[in-house]
Amino acid sequence: MSTIDKLQNDFNNWYETSSVGQFMRWWKTELMSFVPEKYQQQLFPQAINILLTQEQDEVVIWQNTSGDFVIEKSEDEEVMWWHEVQHIINDAEGRRVNVVYLLPNNEALVRKIALPQAAKENLDEVIGFELDKYVPFKAEQVQLSYKIDKDNSSEDKVVLDLAVIPKQKVADIIALTEEKSIELDALDVNSGSVQQPQALGVNLLPPEKRKERNYFNLKLNVGLLFLFFILMYFVMYTSVANKQEKIEQLTNLNSELSKQAKKAKLLRKELKSVIVSSKFLNNKKNDNPSLVAILSDITNRLPEDTYITRLKVNKEKLELTGQSNNASNLVPELDKSHSWFQPEIVGGVTEDRRTKKEKFTIKALLKEPQVEDEDDGTS
């Protein structure tokens, strides 16, 4: 057994018993159930299996596509068996046809042997070396093949079905099929009955007579699997990269919005401060008479012979200091104004020796005084 054959055999053994294989078989069955029957064979072609058994001098053809093997007989009884096999192969329409020659159980020596699990890696060498323990023949006299019995094998031992036949018998069968231009896929042993044959699962054909394995499907599946992982990596990498890019964009947007929020908060604070200041000035303006208006009113009411040397205005009072020819006449004139209330001369009136005018100081209220209601005794 070549290295590639051994690897493929190990892989097939693992695949058949693994959950992956079970899932794929289930998945294929489910997919087929959704496909119309007339298209199922095109999309999911089933291999055609042919068993050749010999009853006396007659070769019987058994065919199987999806169920048990049934005898394949031509309507024309004169058609030879090899012609019928060729006819089946020609009508396969691209489907694989496996032709297996089954030896009767009494023409082969089949033994069930047990070996340590350590020998599984080199079964060919171990069996060839210990063959005389199991059969009364030398290795150069017989053609042997084996199949691992998975049901009876364990972690400690591997159980094999060992089949042995004389090399001459193999040569006779090969000569018969080659003469009829029939190429065998395997030479096996019938582990069933004459009425319902069943292949043991070994191949007693010499390695040089076996069909060269077509690894196209294996290469295609490996290539598709490799492409699948590349696409998965690309999709995952692209997805992660896109998410990372979106995260960076959102981070930048969040940072920008945070800056704008801080600016808006500062502007709101400044606006609030401006509003407070504006209200304060407004209140000041409302609470205090306009200085321009006061000056204008004073200028219009004082006579031309009067001038002001000092003007003092605070929140509630007005104080005028100046000189006039007749200071006592100023109070009645100033009392006519609505900009102040209760003007009066304070500190007396004195004469300025230099100007010969009367110096005065007049004070007035800028807010109208509150007059308390007198108690009339009726309460």
Average pLDDT over residues 29-43: 74
Predicted confidence at residue 287, as pLDDT, reads 58
* Among candidate residues 259, 266, 86, 323, the one with its CA nearest the CA of residue 182: 86
Per-residue confidence at 379, pLDDT binned at 50, 70, 90? Answer: very low
Strands 157-166 and 142-148, bridge-based pairing: antiparallel
pLDDT over 90 at 100, yes or no: yes
The pLDDT confidence band at residue 10, using thresholds 50, 70 and 90, is low
pLDDT band with cut points at 50, 70 and 90 for residue 216: low
DSSP per-residue letters across 253-289: HHHHHHHHHHHHHHHHHHHHHHHHHHHHHHHHHHHS-
Tokens of 107: 């023409």
Q: Which residues pair with 307 in a beta bridge?
A: 323
| Burial class, 378, CB count within 10 angstroms (exposed 0-12 / middle 13-18 / buried 19+) | exposed
330 pLDDT higher than 60: yes
**Stretch (H or E) spanning 248:** helix 216-287
Q: What percentage of the chain carries pLDDT values higher than 70?
A: 85
pLDDT 10s digits, 159-170: 999 999 999 999
Single out the residue of 100, 117, 252 nearest to residue 186, CA to CA: 100
The third-level CATH classification (topology) of the domain covering 45-213 is: Nucleotidyltransferase; domain 5 (3.30.420)
Q: What is the pTM of this model?
A: 0.53
Assign 223 a pLDDT band (cuts: 50, 70, 90): confident
Where are the chain's structural domains? 1-34, 45-213, 224-287, 291-365
- The listed range with the strongest mean pLDDT (22-36, 253-267, 331-345) is 253-267
Q: What is the pLDDT of residue 13?
A: 64
Q: What is the pLDDT of residue 39?
A: 72
Whether pLDDT at 175 is above 80: yes
Please provide the size of the chain in residues: 379
3 state SS of 300:
helix
Between 165 and 9, whose confidence is greater?
165
Residue 282 tokens, joined = 């407004």
For 296-332, b/e burial (b = at least 16 CB within 10 A) is: ebbeeebeeebeeeeeebeeeebebebbbeebeebee
Beta carbons of 141 and 90 less than 8 angstroms apart:
no
Q: 349-370 pLDDT, tens per residue?
A: 888 888 888 899 999 888 766 6
Give pLDDT tens digits for 67-98.
678 877 766 666 788 888 888 888 887 778 88
| Lowest-pLDDT choice from 127-141, 161-175, 265-279 | 127-141
Average pLDDT, the chain: 82
Annotation: CATH topology of 291-365: Gyrase A; domain 2 (3.30.1360)
Q: Which of 28-32, 193-197, 247-251, 299-303 has the highest mean pLDDT?
A: 247-251
The backbone torsions φ and ψ at residue 205, rounded to the nearest 5 degrees and listed phi first, read -70, 140
What is the reported pLDDT for 22? 81
Quote the distance between the C-alpha of residue 326 and its chain's center.
102
